[in-house]
Amino acid sequence: MSTSLARLIQLVPPPPEPREKEWDAAESELTTELPSDYKEFIRTYGGSNWDDYLYVLEPGCPNDNYDLIEWEDQQTEALDGLWEFEKKPAELAAEGTRVIPWATTDNGECLYWLVRPGQSPDQWTIMVNEARGDNWEHFSTTCTQFLASVLDGELQSSILSSRFPLAAHEFRQLRPV
């Protein structure tokens, strides 16, 4: 178990039943493997809502509004259109660099993995994009490190809501609607 997942478990106990997942189809669809800490997170927590604000996406999520594959398709298309009018963040300038969404918020902010050519998925870092603007933040952490650090107050984002995280954490596993 990763150190950051252990931190999350201390902050918010997971549901009793792990969520088994077949990763081959999702990774084939995305044309890349996914980070091992994320896979471990999904097995432990599944697609989930944190502090009634942040939604962690899951491939094949029981609530299809938060399906990672659907989000990746939609965000890729939206960002391709956006780059025609706005300058890409410097982190995305290198040829072959892309982002893959792994979480979103009630306000519409999107959290992405920064995927660089030749880089292992376990080395991907985090990009956060504001909901209706061109502000981006880059965090040199994995997704579980990011979530654990935000929840325990170690890391702060100027883009995410100032009301996140809550003092007493809330967790919900995403269910069918």
pLDDT tens-digit map of 52-63: 999 999 999 999
Name the residue ranges covered by the structural domains of the chain. Answer: 3-173
Fold of 3-173: SMI1/KNR4-like (3.40.1580)
Asked if 26 and 67 count as a contact pair (C-beta separation under 8 A), the reply is no
Kindly report the number of other CB atoms within 10 A of residue 45's CB atom.
25
Query: What pTM was computed for the model?
Result: 0.95
Tell me the pLDDT band of 153, cut-offs 50, 70 and 90: very high
Pick from 48-62, 79-93, 99-113, 140-154: least confident: 79-93
Give the C-alpha separation, 157 to 135, whole Å: 11
DSSP H/E element including 24 = helix 23-30
| DSSP 8-state secondary structure symbol assigned to residue 154 | S
Beta bridge partner(s), residue 147: none
Percentage of residues in the chain having pLDDT higher than 70: 100
